[in-house]
Amino acid sequence: RREVERAEAFEPAVTRDGREIEVAANIGDSSEARLAAESGADGVGLMRSEFLFLGRDTAPDEAEQCHEYQTSLTALGGKPVIIRTLDIGADKQLPYLRLPEVPNPALGVRGVRLWHDQPALLDTQLHALLGVVPLDALRIMVPMVSEVGELAWVRERLEAVAVERGLTERPRLGAMVEVPSAALCAANLAEQADFLSIGTNDLTQYALAMDREDPHLAARADVLHPGVLRLIQATVEGAAGRCPVGVCGAAAGDPLAASLLVAMGVDELSVEPARVAAIKASIRRLDAASLARELPDLLAMPDAASVRRRLAEIHESVS
| Contact positions vs ligand PEP (CB under 6 A) | 46, 48, 87, 178, 199-202, 248-249
208-213 contacts, C-beta under 8 A, 24 or more apart: 211/106, 213/91
Q: Write down the least CB distance from residue 178 to Mg ion, Å.
A: 5
Instruction: Please select the residue that binds Mg ion; options are 199, 244, 253, 273, rule is CB under 5 A.
Output: 199
- What would the x/- binding string for Mg ion be over residues 202 to 241, using CB under 5 A? x---------------------------------------
Which residues ranging from 127 to 186 are in contact with Mg ion (CB under 5 A)? 178
Q: Is 101 helix (H, G, I), strand (E, B) or coil?
A: coil
The helix-helix angle for 200-208 and 226-239 (nearest 10°) equals 120
- Shortest Cβ 317–ligand PEP spacing (Å): 30
**What is the C-alpha to C-alpha distance for residues 23 and 40, in angstroms, rounded to an integer?**
9
Cβ-based nearer residue to ligand PEP, 199 or 273: 199
Smallest distance, ligand PEP to C-beta of residue 112, A: 13
Tally of CB atoms within 10 A around 110: 21
Q: How far is the CB of 102 from ligand PEP (least distance, A)?
A: 18
Alpha-carbon dihedral 302, 264, 44, 123, rounded to 10 degrees: -80
User: Please, which residue, 15 or 180, has the CB nearer to ligand PEP?
Assistant: 180
Nearest to 177 by CA among 268, 105, 263: 268
Q: Which residues contact 239 (CB under 8 A, 6 or more apart)?
A: 186, 187, 189, 190, 196, 245
* Closer CB to ligand PEP, 161 or 266, in the complex: 266
Least distance to Mg ion, CB of residue 107, Å: 13
Select the binding partner of residue 200 from Mg ion, ligand PEP, none (C-beta < 5 to 8 A, by kind).
ligand PEP
